[in-house]
Structure 1
Amino acid sequence: MAILYSAQLHPTKLELLAGWLPTQPWFAHDADVPLDRVGAYRFDDPAGEVGVETILVRADDTVLQVPLTYRDAPLPGADPWLVGTMEHSVLGTRWVYDACTDPVYAATLASVVLGDAVQAEEVVVTPDGEHQPRTPSTVVRAEPAGSATDAPAPPVDGPVPCSTTGRATTILIGGAELTVLRVLDLDVHGSALPALVGTWPEQAEPVLLATARPI
């Protein structure tokens, strides 16, 4: 379960991304292109310490997938993948990382794609302490469904190996190779490999988001 707060963020997530995305090789737009939030989904950190959120944004007519992790302290060795820091009015300073190098994201993605876990439920804590369920703006699932396999365990700390070629990033964790699509093709709805697909209000047909294969 992802516990969220009614909080003020400075800078906002989109403001962070507006400065970071133009530095990425898969971002093929002008640096000042407006970004629109399409949706987002979350995974559960079993330890309950790291926020794991993937944001979908539109730049011109392209939908980009941006996995992020939120930490209360720097991830050792991950400075090159730091998106930035932001001040959270409830949680304090948060270090925001490109999640593809974060061991928590890699392990949770593998768990979901390989059928051993599911998308996180979202609960918002209001200023008066009430816990209110929230429907995710993007719904993701593994395909094929029901093919649960033991997901690889993450390293104890430090970044995991990842590399970007073209419009996708490959992550190596345990005995699995994960591929995260950074630029989404809205006409591609699945894969021959175990895959993560997603829908959102403007996209009724599932879109391929990520794949996993043993190595």
Structure 2
Amino acid sequence: MCEAEPDQHAHTGETTTVMAVIHHTTLTPSKVELLTEWLPTRPWYRGGSGTPVLEKTGGFRLDDPEGEVGIEIMIATDLTSPGRTAYLVPLSYRGAPLEGAEHALVGTMEHGVLGKRWAYDGMRDPVLVTELLRLVAGRTQAMAQSITDFPDHEVTHAYTGAPFTPVAFTPTPADDADGTHLPTPHGTVLRLHRVLTPSDDNPPVPATPALGHVSTGWPTPSGDRLRAVLLTVRQR
């Protein structure tokens, strides 16, 4: 397995461009193995009492402008559930524990190049949340997941609300049976759709009063592609 780590900076004048370094190496345990233990503890998990059989089926990454935190927006599909339930799992990867975020720790892994890595529920990591809001606002691009340094053009976004500048803040999300709600400093609420509702074509545009949304696609075993709305932003 490989993990994209944005730990290189390319400088051009006053502009700093972060380029992710793609490490093709081992992770012990793997990300999927960590999620196999963690997902059933979530209120939005739809499986029963058995152990899920997870497969990483899609997603993308965002690059931390400071080059310190790995950010992955993963789609993990449970192969044991009827209809192959697809879960949306934002994860952040750090080289040291995130202070005050013990409750958000998904687990630790040993990276073949970088050593010990701490994996967190990304909705509780201020760096990931800030970059996710920047994506909604059109201020950053989704990148191909742990593969290249090219944008992932299958990820689409729209935002019609008042302009805002995403700033770092301490996120205080709440999980329920439907997903994760996160109030932002901009008077909005980010709603993460933890259990994805796929369609064979473009997913329906979120109903009013949604101010924005992000969508993407992922492959099926037959080679077709499904799409779903990953998150919406609404007025608080």
Provide the TM-score with structure 1 as the length reference. 0.84
| Alignment match, 1:104 | 127
Unaligned ranges ≥5, structure 1: 125-131
Measured after TM superposition, the shift of residue 135 of structure 1 is 7.8
Query: Which of 162, 172, 191 is matched with 1:161 structurally?
Result: 172
Closer, same or farther: CA 206–33 of 1 in aligned 2, 3 Å: closer
2:155 aligns with 140
Distance in 2, matches of 1:122 and 1:16, equals 18
- In structure 1, what residue type is equivalent to 2:234? R
CA distance in 1, matches of 2:179, 2:130: 18
2:58 is paired with a residue of what secondary structure?
A: strand
Q: Does the 8 Å contact 1:45/1:52 carry over to 2?
A: yes
Q: Any residues of structure 2 matched to 1:165-180 within 5 Å, and which? A: 165-175=176-186, 176-180=188-192
Tell me whether 1:24 sits opposite 2:42 in the alignment. Answer: yes
Deviations 1:149-187 (A, max 9, x none): 3332013xxx41100122210112321321111001114
Name the structure 1 match of 2:230: 209
| Identity level (%) | 34
Which amino acid is 1:81 matched to? Answer: A
The one of 75, 78, 91 equivalent to 1:56 is: 75
Tell me how far apart the structure 1 counterparts of residues 62 and 151 of structure 2 sit (CA, whole Å).
14
2:61 and 2:146 in contact (8 A); partners too: no
- Contact 2:70 / 2:93 at 8 angstroms: preserved in 1? yes
C-alpha displacement at 1:204, in angstroms?
A: 3.8
- In structure 2, C-alpha distance between the alignment counterparts of 1:20 and 1:123, rounded to whole Å: 22
- Cα distance in 2 for partners of 1:35, 1:173 equals 31
Give the drift of 1:33: 2.4
Other-structure match for 1:92:
115
* Structure 1 residues 121 and 198: alpha-carbon distance in aligned structure 2, compared to 1, 3 A threshold: closer
Q: Distance in 2 between matches of 1:8 and 1:152?
A: 34
The residue type equivalent to 1:210 in the other structure is: L
* Residue among 183, 186, 204 paired with 2:198: 186
Match of 1:13 among 31, 46, 55: 31
Change in Cα spacing, 1:123 to 1:105, as seen in structure 2 (3 Å) is closer
Comparing 198-207 with 41-50, greater Cα deviation is found at 198-207
Deviations 1:66-96 (A, max 9, x none): 1100011111111111000000011111100
SS in 2 for 1:139: coil
- Let me know the Cα RMSD of the aligned residues: 2.4
Q: Is the 8 A contact 2:71 2:91 kept in 1?
A: yes
Relative to structure 1, the CA distance from residue 135 to residue 15 in structure 2 (aligned partners, 3 Å threshold; closer, same or farther) is: farther
TM-score by length of 2: 0.77
